[in-house]
């Protein structure tokens, strides 16, 4: 299962995403966004997902990074 960090345009978008993940049994936790990824909203979501990431992308998400060997790789950008 892959681990990701999603960055949002707004705090409310991050909270909504977290609720949706929990409702769909997707492991997710809100966290401060690492500065190297963004300085916008400041809140992100770290989650684990094993299906196509595009299935959970919504209009609140600005970027999604996959975590590989402790490094972030951009896989989606609005």
pLDDT range class, residue 66, cuts 50, 70, 90: very high
Q: Once rounded to an integer, what is the mean pLDDT over residues 38-65?
A: 88
- What mean pLDDT, rounded, does the chain reach? 91
Contacts 24+ apart (CB under 8 A), 71-76: 72/5, 72/34, 72/36, 72/37, 75/4
Domains identified in the chain, total number: 1
Phi (first) and psi of residue 16, to 5 degrees: -60, -45
Structure tokens at 52: 């196509």
Q: Once rounded to an integer, what is the mean pLDDT over residues 70-77?
A: 94
- Residue range of the domain that includes 60: 2-77
State yes or no: pLDDT of 35 exceeds 90: no
The span from the CA of 39 to the CA of 43, in Å, is 9
């Amino acid at each position: 299962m892959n681990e990701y960090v999603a960055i949002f345009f707004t705090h409310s978008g991050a909270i909504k995403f977290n609720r949706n993940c929990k409702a769909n049994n997707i492991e997710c936790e809100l966290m401060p966004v690492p500065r190297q990824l963004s300085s916008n909203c400041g809140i992100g979501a770290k989650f684990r997902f094993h299906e196509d990431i595009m299935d959970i992308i919504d209009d609140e998400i600005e970027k999604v990074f996959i975590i590989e060997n402790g490094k972030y790789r951009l896989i989606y950008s609005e």
